[in-house]
Structure 1
Amino acid sequence: MSNHNVTIVELNSENWYDCCQLDISVEQKAFIESNAVSIAQSKFQPTLKPYAIYDNDQVVGFLMFNSEKEELDGYWIYRIMIDQKYQNKGLGKIASQQMFEEMKNLLNANKIIVGYHPENLGAHQLYKSLGFVDEGHRFGKEMAVIKYI
């Protein structure tokens, strides 16, 4: 892990296209929108904050959260993805922790929520390892888990 230098950087004219080029496995595609759709969504919903995830100088992932409170009186994470070539290296966990700090500093967030499909085992493991708790909230086919910070 020591050779990884993970940072999150707000989406900009220099990294947006790299984020669009990132890919996930065929199995994961059923659970998450493409980064291009997420980026477009952020242009029409200005409270959404998209970020590129870097490992050293390489864009390896994408994340996005809402800067306004929503359901369950918390701030929602809309996307966290790591390109399939860079998965299982702990990069998503490090980027998520940086995102929590960013949300805490920018929004004074103390309740962060993420929704995901129960069959998305990778997401389940990641969120559980990050301290999210399942309090039984369901929205359609998705479960919503909560992290208190």
Structure 2
Amino acid sequence: MEIRNVELVEVNADNWYECCTLEVSVDQQNFLEPNAFSIAHSKFETTLKPYAIYFEGKVVGFLMFNSILEELDGYWIYRIMVDKHYQGKGIGKAATQLMISEIAKIPNARKIIVGYHPNNLNAHNLYESLGFIDYGNRFGKEMAVIKTINEQVKSRT
């Protein structure tokens, strides 16, 4: 999967360590656990799909989603992050679009859901720009926003 020099590659023996060394900016550190936690989580919950985000052939980010239906009858994005040195270049948006296309390939996929802290303005702006809508769903300290997968998205996959 590739958009504008951004590519998603499943986490594997060649890229897992690079994913673990990525860092977000200081103001984002309270919003995300280290990528190593997510990679370990995916080894015990095999429905979780972890991917390295590559930009021009270099690992610059990490994302993970669940491939089974969960709360709110949707497929949840568990993590998306871009290293602090590569933020602001549209990489996160391109990677999220690729992830949406990947989830849309799941036969019964109709909704994608992501939770994030309301103070995480970068996440808010990203998801809003991609058509995620806040219907007021809350899970603890996080808000959950929803994107409906329409037939146009499914036809591009």
Shift of 1:71: 0.4
1:116 is matched with: 116
Q: Secondary structure of 1:81's match?
A: strand
1:89 is matched with: 89
2:53 is matched with: 53
RMSD: 0.9
Q: Which runs of 5+ in 1 are unaligned?
A: none
Q: Secondary structure of 1:119's match?
A: coil
1:95-149 deviation line (CA, Å, top 9, x unaligned): 0000011111145422000000000011000000110000000011000000001
Segments of 4+ moved more than 2 angstroms: none
Q: Which runs of 5+ in 2 are unaligned?
A: 150-157
1:22 is matched with: 22
Distance in 1 of aligned mates of 2:26 and 2:108: 37
1:18-55 deviation line (CA, Å, top 9, x unaligned): 10010111211100111001101111111100000001
1:10 is matched with: 10
1:63-103 deviation line (CA, Å, top 9, x unaligned): 00001111000000000000000000000000000001111
The percent of aligned pairs where both chains have the same amino acid is 66
Aligned residue pairs, count = 146
1:73 is matched with: 73
Which one is further off, 55-64 or 102-111?
102-111
Q: Is the 8 A contact 1:103 1:109 kept in 2?
A: yes
- Could you tell me the TM-score, scaled by structure 2's length? 0.90
Distance in 2 of aligned mates of 1:58 and 1:40: 22
